[in-house]
Structure 1
Amino acid sequence: MAQKQPTSLTYRDAGVDIDAGEALVDRIKPLAARTMRAGVLNGIGGFGALFEMPKGLREPVLVSGTDGVGTKLRLAFDWQRHDTVGIDLVAMSVNDILVQGAEPLFFLDYFACGKLSVETAAQVVGGIAKGCELSGCALIGGETAEMPGMYPEGEYDLAGFAVGVAEKSELIDGKSIVEGDVLLGLASSGAHSNGYSLLRKILAHVDAKPEQDFHGQVLSDVVMAPTRIYVKSVLAALKAHGRGIKGLAHITGGGLLDNVPRVLPSNVQARIHRDSWTLPPLFAWLQQSGGVADAEMHRVFNCGIGMVVVVAADQADAIAQTLKAQGETVYQLGEIVERPDEQAAQVDVV
């Protein structure tokens, strides 16, 4: 009796479509090409991305950061809003390395899914490329991983990696911050990419619909507004005012209460005046709808302030004007005061 010939299985049978992966690379290449800058030595598609160290720096220091988008992705899946989460991905890393005075040089991304949708992935990477353009860094590489059984259909995860450079003598570390310095706040574009687990719980609690009206806008547009990228405006202020800028804090997870202390010496605290800016409608609505206490709001959300800049008092007005000229909305939030003892909080919202 003739033995039955075994079935010839393929990678596609196992759930991985190599052709789709190659089609995505073809879609990505022109997007990445728009982000190229001096220093890039090769393009998308190689095994490793090459970038030449910028010239003109005496003691260059590389500054790196990595982050994701968090549970904002859940809304991207549910509401089919994939075009801006890539901007969020870039923003979270480049804003982080910016606070040490670094200029972002290049970015790499990691996109993982169960079944690759070329259209969805191209929308996501299009957002990543846009974020790189906004921050002046090059998208020079990444990884697309199709892993059947690891993610439900239609879902994916993102991670991003940014590398920047700063002159060693010009690194911003907050050590020069003293009593009397001024806190400037740069307005956020919304919830950015933090607090979305609580935000989604509030949305469910009030049975909010993505298409409903919110102050003349569609609610999903407000909730999914991409994270503001502060790179070009802050770098311009650093170039113009140098050591007048003593500290920078990116207001991400932990909000104002946990992020500002990360740049403060232990002997001072930040006094923030709650009446120095108006809580944007999104945050006022979230607080009211969820019955969220003030302290919880300040620790979970950015509450309308995406970056805090600590500046010398005698340069506060000039630095604020430079930032405004770069398109930022700037608030004078408060000042640096003496910390009464080690038990006192480093941020006092009064």
Structure 2
Amino acid sequence: MSDQYKEAGVSLEAGYDSVRRIKSHVDRTRVKGTMDSIGAFGGMFDLEQAGFTNPVLVSGTDGVGTKLMLAFEMDKHDTIGIDAVAMCVNDVLVQGASPLFFLDYIAVGKNHPEVIEEIVKGVADGCVLSDAALIGGETAEMPDMYDPEHYDLAGFCVGAVDKDHLIVPKTEVGDVLIGLPSSGVHSNGFSLVRKVLFKDNHLDPHETFEELGNKKLGEVLLEPTRIYVKPVKSLFKKADIHGMAHITGGGFFENIPRMLKEGQGVEIQLDSFEKPAIFDFIQKYSNIPNDEMYNVFNMGIGFVIAAPESEAAKIQKLLSEAGQPSSVIGVITDSGQVVLK
């Protein structure tokens, strides 16, 4: 029976080998509340052991998108899992939730156990950075659906917050915006990136460029999404946070308004934070208008915290003590618009 399955393009033995290879990576993500459930039909987690008394569960799911195409091109698979985790945990963090656990889904054209191990290593790295447990997942081999050397990667995260500490938007005009730097492009806008750099301008991702610090273009683009969980969690119960935003697809124009009340807007001072060189590089080869760049990419700010001006210094000090740089990048207004200055 397994021989016929193998003839259809699916290797059970490769699947078993993948599971053996990833066990050590899963083990290092254990946190309080983790229950031994790898291999069971469902992942289990004990909320009481995790210390919650009146919990609200906050969930998020996402994938990595066409950034995966660059991972295939560069044959680099050990960081893309961090992106999958980051896109989920940064989202649940916005509402004041601490990520508890993560599950991944990897769909492949052909099961290469050594590649699966690299992918899951990245997922485990992301979970460690998030104080979250990797409690389960699925690897599906679908030879007629995907190219033998290609895969898709998505994930699902659940976090929890005690109901009294849930962060719902309570922004006020005059609140300041504290921006946390991104590590680069993160995991958004790669269909546009790939079009302008590789399809339109035929650049080689293996080529180094002086304006990118003499690094390979592909390596700069594959820099994993920054995970903000630990430094932002250091603010909980210590600072008056009025709202938060994860700057993903839609950039400043779509994501910042999601934490505002009706009729509010923001004014962003563009000279208040550093823009990674990769964004000027993309614009140089594309002539994308400035507003569109800020409507697609994070442009150097991956996470935004809104707080009373009187709280800003304390928040920045707490972030600094947690190893997270930050800068005041703007203010909330009554304009109902995102204004870039």
**With structure 2 as the length reference, what TM-score do the two structures score?**
0.95
Q: 1:144 aligns with which of 131, 139, 151?
A: 139
The structural deviation recorded for 1:9 is 5.7
Report the Cα distance in structure 1 between the residues aligned to 2:2 and 2:184, rounded to whole angstroms.
52
Alpha-carbon distance in 2 for matches of 1:209, 1:68: 25
Percent identity over the alignment is 48
Residue 349 (1) aligns with residue 340 (2)? yes
- For residues 80 and 348 of structure 1, what CA distance do their matches in structure 2 show? 40
Tell me if the contact between 1:272 and 1:335 (Cα under 8 Å) persists in the aligned partners: yes
Q: 2:275 aligns with which of 271, 274, 279?
A: 279
In structure 2, the partner of 1:251 is 247
Counterpart of 2:333 in 1: which secondary structure? strand
TM-score normalised over the length of structure 1: 0.93
Partner of 1:39: 33
Q: Which of 219, 222, 225 is equivalent to 2:220?
A: 222
SS at match of 1:11: helix
1:217, CA displacement in angstroms? 2.1
Structure-2 residue corresponding to 1:231: 229
1:30 pairs, out of 21, 24, 35, with: 24
The equivalent residue for 2:6 is 12
AA in 2 matched with 1:211: H
Separation of aligned partners in 2, 1:269 and 1:16: 53
Query: 2:115 maps to what in 1?
Result: 120
Deviates more, 1:189-198 or 1:209-218: 209-218
SS in 2 for 1:184: strand
Distance 1:8 1:96 in 2: 41
**1:308 and 2:304 aligned:** yes
Residue 106 of structure 2 corresponds to residue 111 of structure 1: yes
Q: Quick check: 2:74–2:206 contact (8 Å CA) kept in 1?
A: no
SS at match of 1:115: coil
SS at match of 2:134: strand
User: Is structure 2 residue 57 aligned with structure 1 residue 52?
Assistant: no
Q: How far, CA to CA, are the matches of 2:48 and 2:196 in structure 1?
A: 47
Find the aligned partners of 2:52 and 2:37 in 1 and give their Cα distance.
Answer: 25
Contact 1:25 1:45 in 2 (8 A): no
Amino acid in structure 2 at the alignment position of 1:118 = P
Structure 2: give runs of 5+ residues left out of the alignment: none
Displacement after TM superposition at 1:221 (Å): 1.7
Match of 1:70 in 2: 65
* Structure 1 gaps, min length 5: 1-6
8 Å Cα contact 2:2/2:12 also seen in 1: no
User: Which whole-Å CA distance do the structure 1 matches of 2:325 and 2:279 have between them?
Assistant: 17
Larger radius of gyration: 1
2:109–2:148 contact (8 Å) kept in structure 1: yes
Q: What secondary structure sits across from 1:245 in the alignment?
A: coil
Name the stretch that deviates more: 223-232 or 314-323. 314-323
Q: Are 2:158 and 1:167 aligned?
A: no
Aligned partners of 1:329, 1:219: CA distance in 2, in Å?
A: 25
Select 1:190's aligned residue among 167, 173, 184: 184
Q: CA deviation at 1:251?
A: 0.3
Deviations 1:32-52 (A, max 9, x none): 000011111214211111111
1:142-169 deviation line (CA, Å, top 9, x unaligned):
0010112010110011110000100111
CA distance in 1 between counterparts of 2:39 and 2:263 reads 50
Distance 1:322-1:9 versus aligned 2 partners, 3 A rule? closer
Aligned to 1:3: none
Deviations 1:98-148 (A, max 9, x none): 000000000000000111111111110110000000101000000010112
SS state at 1:50 partner? coil
For the pair 1:262 / 2:253, whether they are aligned, the reply is no
Report the secondary structure of 1:295's partner residue: helix
The residue identity in structure 2 corresponding to 1:158 is: L
Q: 1:29 to 1:227 in 2, by over 3 A?
A: same
Tell me, in whole angstroms, the C-alpha distance in 2 between the residues paired with 1:129 and 1:62: 22
TM-align CA RMSD: 1.5
Number of equivalenced pairs: 336
Q: Distance in 1 between matches of 2:73 and 2:307?
A: 42
Report the equivalent of 1:337. Answer: 333
Report SS of the residue matched to 2:5: coil
Encode CA deviations 1:12-54: one digit per residue, 9 max, x unaligned: 1111100110010001111100001111121421111111113
* Residue pair 2:18, 2:116 contacting (<8 A) in 1 also: yes
Question: Residues of 1 paired with 2:171 and 2:252: CA distance?
Answer: 17
- The answer to which of 326-335 and 148-157 deviates more is 326-335
- With 132-141 and 8-17 compared, the bigger mean Cα shift is at 8-17
Q: Secondary structure at the match of 2:4?
A: coil
Is contact 2:275-2:299 (8 Å) kept?
yes
1:218, distance to aligned residue in structure 2 (A)? 2.3
How much has 1:8 moved relative to structure 2?
10
Q: Does 1:322 align with 2:312?
A: no
Instruction: Give the partner amino acid of 1:94.
Output: V
Look up the match of 2:93: 98
Partner of 2:79: 84
Distance change >3 Å, CA 259–CA 302, structure 1 → 2:
same
Q: SS state of the match for residue 7, structure 2?
A: coil
